[in-house]
Structure 1
Amino acid sequence: MPPRTRHSLPPALTIALVYLAARAVTLGFLVLAATLSAEGTRFGAGASVQDLAVGWDAQWYWYLAVNGYPTELPLTDTGAVAENQWAFMPIYAYLAAALAPLVGGWWGVAAVLISLAAGYGATYVLYRMLRGRIGGNAAVWAAAFFATGPLAALFQVGYAEALFLLWLFLALWAVSARRYGWVYPLVILMGYTRPGVLAFALFLGLFGIFRFFSRAREPLRVVEVVHIVALGALATVVGFSWQLIAAVVTGDPGAYLATELAWRRNWLLDDEGHFIPFDAFVRGAAFWGQTWGWGAVGGIILLVVLVVGVAAALLWAPPVRALGPEIRLWSVSYVVYLLAVFFPQSSIFRLLVPLSPLWGAFAVPRSLLWRVGVLLACLAGQWWWIYNMYALGNRFWQIP
Structure 2
Amino acid sequence: MTTLSRFRAVWRGWPAVARIAVIYVMSRLVTTALMLQVAAAAPSTSRFGPNPSLGDFVLGWDAQWYWTVAVFGYPSALPRDDAGTVAENAWAFMPVYAHLSNAVGLGVWGTGALVVSLVAGFVACLGLHGLLRRRLDDDAAMWSVALFASAPLAALFQVGYAEALFLAFLMLALWALAARRWWWLYALVPLMGYTRPGILAFALMLGLYGLVRWFRRRSDVLSSSEIVHILALGALAVAVGFSWQIIAGIVTGVPDAYLQTELAWRRGWLPGTEGFVPFEGWLGAAPLWFSLWGLPAWTGYVGLALIVGLAAWGLLARRVRALGPEVQLWSISYVVYLLAVFFPQSSTFRLLVPLSPLWGAAPRSRWGRIVALLLCVLGQWVWIAAMYGHGNTFWQIP
Do both share a fold (TM > 0.5)? yes
Q: Equivalent residue for 1:168?
A: 170
Offset of residue 6 of structure 1: 7.4
Please tell me whether the aligned partners of residues 115 and 158 of structure 1 are also in contact (alpha carbons under 8 angstroms).
yes
Offset of residue 70 of structure 1: 0.4
Unpaired segments ≥5 residues, structure 2: 1-7
* Aligned length, in residue pairs: 390
- Residue 296 of structure 2 is aligned to residue 298 of structure 1: no
Offset of residue 5 of structure 1: 7.0
Offset of residue 236 of structure 1: 0.2
TM, length-normalised to structure 2: 0.96
Please tell me whether the aligned partners of residues 285 and 344 of structure 2 are also in contact (alpha carbons under 8 angstroms).
yes
Q: Equivalent residue for 1:342?
A: 342
Q: How does 1:1-400 map to 2 (within 5 A)?
A: 8-101=13-106, 105-269=107-271, 271-315=272-316, 317-363=317-363, 365=364, 367-400=365-398
Shift in CA distance, 6/305, structure 1 to aligned 2, threshold 3 Å: closer
Please tell me whether the aligned partners of residues 64 and 85 of structure 1 are also in contact (alpha carbons under 8 angstroms).
yes
Name the % identity: 56
Between the aligned partners of 1:75 and 1:6, the Cα distance in structure 2 is 61
TM, length-normalised to structure 1: 0.96
Amino acid at match of 1:180: W
Offset of residue 325 of structure 1: 1.1
Any idea what SS the aligned residue of 1:382 has? Answer: helix
Please tell me whether the aligned partners of residues 315 and 328 of structure 2 are also in contact (alpha carbons under 8 angstroms).
yes
Amino acid at match of 1:381: G
Between the aligned partners of 2:35 and 2:153, the Cα distance in structure 1 is 12
**Deviation readout 1:339-380 (Å, 9 max, x if unpaired):** 0000000100000000000001014x2x11100000001111
Offset of residue 395 of structure 1: 2.7
Offset of residue 294 of structure 1: 2.4
Please tell me whether the aligned partners of residues 263 and 273 of structure 2 are also in contact (alpha carbons under 8 angstroms).
no
Between the aligned partners of 2:274 and 2:54, the Cα distance in structure 1 is 37
Unpaired segments ≥5 residues, structure 1: none
Between the aligned partners of 1:296 and 1:209, the Cα distance in structure 2 is 39
Amino acid at match of 2:333: S
Between the aligned partners of 1:177 and 1:99, the Cα distance in structure 2 is 31
Amino acid at match of 1:37: A
Between the aligned partners of 1:265 and 1:292, the Cα distance in structure 2 is 20
Please tell me whether the aligned partners of residues 81 and 258 of structure 1 are also in contact (alpha carbons under 8 angstroms).
yes
Between the aligned partners of 1:6 and 1:296, the Cα distance in structure 2 is 58
Offset of residue 318 of structure 1: 2.4
Please tell me whether the aligned partners of residues 104 and 116 of structure 2 are also in contact (alpha carbons under 8 angstroms).
no
Between the aligned partners of 1:162 and 1:217, the Cα distance in structure 2 is 36
Between the aligned partners of 2:42 and 2:67, the Cα distance in structure 1 is 23
Between the aligned partners of 1:213 and 1:202, the Cα distance in structure 2 is 17
Shift in CA distance, 15/37, structure 1 to aligned 2, threshold 3 Å: same
Between the aligned partners of 2:307 and 2:349, the Cα distance in structure 1 is 15
Any idea what SS the aligned residue of 1:80 has? Answer: coil
Amino acid at match of 1:266: G
